Amino acid sequence: MKPLVLVTPSFERGRLMVRREYLQALQDEGVLPWPISIEAIEEAEAYCNNAHGLLLSGGGDIDPLFYHQQPHVALGEVDPDRDRLDFAILARALQRQMPILAICRGLQVLNVARGGTLIQDLPRQRPQALRHQQRAPRWHKSHSIDICEGTMLRQIYRNSTGQVNSFHHQAVDRVGKDLEVVARSNDGVIEALEGLGKNFVMAVQWHPEDLYNNDLEARGLFRAFAESCIEYEKICRVTGGCSSEQTNPCDPD
């Protein structure tokens, strides 16, 4: 069977929304996307017991109460249900050492879940920063990033620099536990994080799903994630499942 990859949704005007670009990129790399419903807040355990990867998708701002701050005047709209869903699913995915790809808001969710904090509004709190909310098509690359040596991201990009798109007004401030910075933009804003463990935990601030059709590096990012999900599924099949009680047997190393 093909691995099942959970994809977190947005909630807009009473509707669950998952952008087709996420789904298509995953399908093209040989895994089956599994969009999550709002009921997953109560059923997070069951979802993760039957999944082989997690994609934390982009979206709106996280309630700053999750990282013990008061709301900045420029904080955007927050969705408490989405926050609770993302943190519930992520906690169980991390417990199972499941492959995780976190995109834009997803990077911020991962960082906050690991005890990190956020810059709530780059233009006002970091006025020297580049424009990180580009006014250009989503497939357009608007700024460069510098990539650290010896990282998974460097292996994918095969270069010390890259070009990415940008659609965020928030960013990582204090880095969370067991995460390392692996890329920054020229203004110092953190653009990518990786987990310090042996499992695939990759978080990027840009939107590689919108670059996937025309960008080898974006495609390589999804391919590396999919390969990790395929390996995880094989191990879970051999061991009889990857529930929270079976975390260690599901660690490929």
Neighbours of 91 (CB within 10 A): 13
Sign of CA dihedral 20, 22, 24, 30: negative
Q: Supply the pLDDT for residue 253.
A: 33
Please give the mean pLDDT across all residues of the chain: 92
What average pLDDT does the segment 85-101 reach? 96
* From 21, 207, 229, 250, the catalytic residue: 207
- Classify residue 251 by burial, with Cβ atoms within 10 Å: 0-12, 13-18, 19+: middle
Each domain of the chain, given as residue ranges in start order, spans 4-250
Q: Does domain 4-250 have CATH number 3.40.50.880?
A: yes
Q: Looking at residue 87, what is its pLDDT?
A: 96
Task: Give the bridge partners for 162, in sequence order.
Answer: 145
Closest CA relative to residue 55, chosen from 248, 243, 163, 202:
202
> Which residue of the set 29, 194, 209, 233 is catalytic?
209
pTM: 0.93
Residue of 21, 29, 52, 104 marked active site: 104
Spatial separation of the C-alpha atoms in residues 158 and 9, rounded to whole Å:
31
Catalytic annotation present for 217 = no
Amino acid at 202: M
Percent of the chain with pLDDT over 70: 94
CA distances from 200 to 16, 21, 105, 153 (A): 27, 21, 18, 11
Is a pLDDT exceeding 50 seen at residue 52?
yes
Q: pLDDT at position 72, please?
A: 97
Q: Which residue has the higher pLDDT, 137 or 43?
A: 137
170 CB neighbour count, 10 Å cutoff: 25
Give the containing element (helix H, strand E) for 17: strand 15-17
- Catalytic residue at 104? yes
132 catalytic residue (yes or no): no
Around Cβ 13, how many Cβ atoms within 10 Å?
5
**Model pLDDT for residues 151-191, shown as the tens digit of each residue:** 999 999 999 999 999 999 999 999 999 999 999 999 999 99
pLDDT tens digits, one per residue of 6-40? 999 987 766 788 999 999 999 999 999 999 987 67
